[in-house]
Structure 1
Amino acid sequence: MSILGEITDADRRRWQREKANRLIELLAAGANAELPPVTWSVPATGALYGQAMDPEPAARRVAFEAWATWLEGRYGHEDRLTVERWPEREHNGYVHLHVVVAKDIGTGRPLVEIVVTADVATDDEDA
């Protein structure tokens, strides 16, 4: 429940359509910037989620870095938006890469809009 009342399936469907429209805009801008493709999810709630999933680990890192750098340039200077790269985390032979675009909605807790991640095998870092 929110302060505005019960969240309905109609609300969730509307939010998902809004996210799908946002993704169409994001993909068009990414294509204009010649960014490598990543796999995207459009949730009913939450952020757009992109994952660099190229079979080649080096290409996966390149795709992540291209999108992260582009997101920083595109959204890093907008009012009420922040772009944050999380520190690289190594776990079970993989390095996790993570960047988040979030909006300050005045609640003290940012609303995450876009997430892009990649997991790169540490053995293949130099590949």
Structure 2
Amino acid sequence: MLKSHGMAEVLDAVELLTSELVTNVYLHAKSPASLRLTALGQGRLRVGVWDSHPYIPAPFARPPGDRVSPAAEGGVGGRGLFLVQEFADAWGGWSLGDGLLDRGSGKLLWFEMGRKH
């Protein structure tokens, strides 16, 4: 899909970051999930991952520009969200309510990337 939209140069990064978000749902939220790719125009793509757990992790819960530290050397986890802030052009998260009780709530984490010039 990205190749046909002239975004082949960001394909690897989009796949990596999408994999990180989906893996976090699997490991931490252990809930139903949904993935959505949205073409925003002008060569921009938004990837959103919804799950029914309400917790929004950093850097998604922090103001734009507020960054998380890299994972400890030798650690087995903690690199995925750091990668999002390093490679994505923008990112964020929205709380959709208490997903533990309300159907269709939880959170949406997203990142955006555009063609590199």
TM-score (norm 1): 0.36
Instruction: Select the structure with the greater relative contact order (CA < 8 A; seq sep ≥ 6).
Output: 2
Structure number with the higher helix fraction is: 1
Larger radius of gyration: 1
Query: What TM-score, normalized by structure 2, do the two folds share?
Result: 0.38
